[in-house]
Chain A
Amino acid sequence: MNLAVFFNLLFLAWVAYAGYRLWMASPSITTRVSAMVLAAALAWGTLKNLYEALMLTGRF
């Protein structure tokens, strides 16, 4: 498997896990909204990296 794709997928899984943990453990609505915005931005960045890695190498 392409190493860049592998690590991006791994990180994406971690972001999903972190988002779940932060959603469950949020003490207030503002922290929950902030956590979701930050996690979504992080997921967007990772997906963009994943897309670029796929386009650049042309293989999974």
Chain B
Amino acid sequence: MNPFMTLMWLEFRKYSAWLIGFAVTLVSSVWLFNQMTGAGGDEGRVGAFAIGLSAMIGLIMIFIFFYGAEAGRDYRSGRWSLLLGSPLPGWMQMGSRVLFAFLAITLFSALMLGLMHIMLIKPMGIVIPLGFYLSLWLYGLGGLPLILFGLFGTLFTTAYLPRKTQNIAGFVAVLGSGSLLALLSQLLSKIMFSLPPWIIPMPTVDGVPIDFKDSDVQFGNHLPTEGFVALLLISALLFYATSRMWTEVEA
């Protein structure tokens, strides 16, 4: 029995209700987009796009929150030790969880964005190249840092056992990571754009590319590559920390 695949299968069994929820959201979005574009034309499309995008992001956020909470319960109560036979290394436990959440989020957002692209964006005459989506997806590592941060926060919080200390740990984790992010962005802003910029293929409207150069938006069609490098390093660090924490604290 391959332990990694067993863990993946366990995740799949635990989260099949969530996967059904994602599917229901997709199907009801088709219905909603149809209704809104039928009644409202292009204005309806813009509204439907806003609703679709916020529903997608909101659902992913809620999913990550519950995913982390479940992982926190798992490693403190030792629920699956009987099934797994022997304790598995922390990196394998974390790897399977991160991979499952990553696949679920990527599949859901790809289908949802594809739906919005075909039903809402294309009929309005806006041409968004595939490279635009892929470039932004790669820049944000497909939400990997967010998944890892959710797991880190809950694993860190649930590591403390008396309830009162757990509250303190949760408070420090939420507020402290905010301060840490502020400190990091302050440091990053000093070295921003010293590497070659991250170019994004921009969407076009009626054949004219959208360009923010003359507007108040600071970044035109490029992002600082330092942000990508920072996200990569943060993800690696968080994965290392969560894996170690799992091994050290698992009950």
Task: Tell me whether A27 and B249 are in contact (CB under 8 A).
Answer: yes
Question: B residues 203-243 with Cβ under 8 Å of A?
Answer: 241
A38 close to B177 (CB less than 8 A)? yes
Which of B161, B162, B249 neighbours the largest number of chain A CB atoms within 10 Å of its CB?
B249
CB of B182 within 8 A of CB of A25, answer no
A21: B residues at CB distance < 8 A: 165, 168
Query: Min CB distance, A51 to chain B, in Å?
Result: 14
Q: List 8 A-B contacts (CB under 8 A).
A: A19-B172, A30-B245, A30-B248, A31-B159, A34-B241, A41-B180, A45-B178, A45-B183
Q: Would you call B176 and A42 a contact (CB within 8 A)?
A: yes
Most buried by B among A25, A26, A39: A25
CA distance A39 to B35 in the complex (A): 50
* Residues of the B chain whose Cβ atoms lie less than 8 Å from the Cβ of A28: 159, 244-245, 248-249
Q: Quick one: which of A1-55 are within 8 Å of B by CB?
A: 15, 18-19, 21-22, 25-31, 34-35, 37-39, 41-42, 44-45
Are B172 and A30 interface neighbours, CB within 8 A?
no
Interface size for B (C-beta < 8 A) is 25
In the complex, which of the residues B160, B171, B173, B179 has the most CB atoms of chain A within 10 Å of its own CB atom?
B179
A42-B175 CB under 8 A given contacts A18-B168, A25-B165: yes
The smallest C-beta distance from B87 to any residue of chain A, in angstroms, reads 15
Residue contact B244 to A30, C-beta cutoff 8 Å: yes
Interface SS, B side: helix
Of listed B175, B182, B249, residue having the most chain A CB within 10 A: B175
Q: Is the CB of B168 within 8 A of A22?
A: yes
Which residues of chain B are near A18, meaning CB under 8 Å? 168, 171-172
- Helix, strand, loop or mixed for chain A's interface? helix
A22 to B245, CA, bound (A): 15
Which 4 A-B residue pairs are closest in the complex by CB-CB distance? A38-B176, A28-B248, A45-B179, A41-B179
B139 within 8 A of A: no
Q: Across the interface, do B249 and A22 meet the contact criterion of CB distance under 8 Å? A: no
Given the contacts A21-B168, A31-B156, A42 and B162 also touching, CB distance less than 8 Å: no
Determine the residue in chain A with the shortest Cβ distance to B159: A31
Query: Are the CB atoms of B168 and A31 closer together than 8 Å?
Result: no
Closest A-chain residue to B90, C-beta based? A30
